[in-house]
Amino acid sequence: MNEKNLKAWTYFLKFQGETPADTTKTLSCKQPVNDEQAWLELRGRLLKGEALPLDASMNAAYLMLLDHQEQPSLILKAEADGFYVESDIEAYVPEADMPKLIEKGRQFMKANMVHEFASDQMMKLPQPPLCKAAVKPLIPLSKSFSELPIKQDFLSIINERKSPRVFANAPISLLELSYLLWCTQGVKEVIGNGYATKRTVPCGGARHEFETYLSVMNVEGLPCGVYHYLPMEHALECIREENDLRAKTRTLLCDQAFAGKSAVTFMWSCVCYRAEWRYSIDAHRIILQDIGHVGENLYLACTSIDLGTCGVGAYLQKECDAFCELDGEEEFIVYTAPVGRVS
């Protein structure tokens, strides 16, 4: 990347602390720019992994890049050969835009099932796969749930359901994890010659557009790492083993400490086209309703075996997608939930 062009496009704020939050020695280094297209090009290149070159004027641990309108956009971290994207700042919204965006959000929430369209299903286009296929060796899971002390009084489960944010430093068993996975995405039956699955949760049109990923930190019989659930086989595959996931999981969930103290954190992705194939432009509100069913099943399943969970909607989108090795376009994380033994 040409550094001269880079400086002509960009504003910088220099952080000299050990973390992006430490701005006690912040210095400004502004380079005026009015070219939005040039900024978008630069931002895209940085997000794809290109580095901002180092030079003597950028002697800082972190940089905040401001966009062409001087609004925060990216945090970059110094490495040996340049500054690389640490996080994408998506939360900033100019105050003047807030009423318009709130109204847009409210309109999205309203039922508007009067669109006239021909969905891909109506057009007889091929149906997408019901779930992702395994790419790693399978780790079979047991369904011998009679071995678990499952509460039978449903009303007591409803009354005892909470959202704990304090977990004991104790493992959960592989059978307990198997039970939670079955209760949230288990396949009971494949129907219609492979057209759909009946699962343990309801879903619009039986599309079941979600995949389950796990940040495993303290599960008996499983090395720490990132896992993917295969509902057809009721099995796991290990995407990769990785130690020291506690700090990373905490960071991924916007630095919420209890996430890093969980035994396992569920991360559900959405493969949108499974729902879009049937519902087209009306799919996305339905998708968000569907993930609520999944989350509530996890709450009730945890309560029934004296575990706890707390659904978390505050997470770093791109970082979570990368953590689960997703493309972030056709499949991306939509909900998370740390699970642990309740203190």
Domains of the chain with CATH codes: 3-88 (no CATH), 107-341 (3.40.109.10)
For residue 331, list its beta bridge partners: 271
Q: Which of 37-46, 49-58, 248-257, 296-305 has the highest mean pLDDT?
A: 296-305
DSSP 39: H
Q: Name residues whose C-beta falls within 8 Å of residue 81's C-beta, 6 or more positions apart in sequence.
A: 51, 54
Give the model confidence (pLDDT) of 30-51 as tens digits.
555 556 677 777 777 888 888 8
For residue 298, give the nearest of 290, 310, 285, 289 by alpha carbon: 310
pLDDT tier at 53, thresholds 50, 70, 90: confident
Main-chain phi, psi angles of 135, to 5 degrees: -120, -5
For residue 309, list its beta bridge partners: 339
pLDDT at 116: 76
Cβ contact 297:152 at 8 Å:
no
For residue 295, give the nearest of 201, 205, 204 by alpha carbon: 201
Distances (CA, A) of 214 to 233, 240, 325: 17, 11, 12
As given in the structure block, the two tokens for residue 269 are 């992705």
Q: Token match 């569920």: residue? A: 266
Cβ contact 333:320 at 8 Å:
yes
Report yes or no on whether pTM surpasses 0.85: no
pLDDT at 52: 80
Cα separation, 162 vs 336, whole angstroms = 16
pLDDT (average), residues 99-127: 88
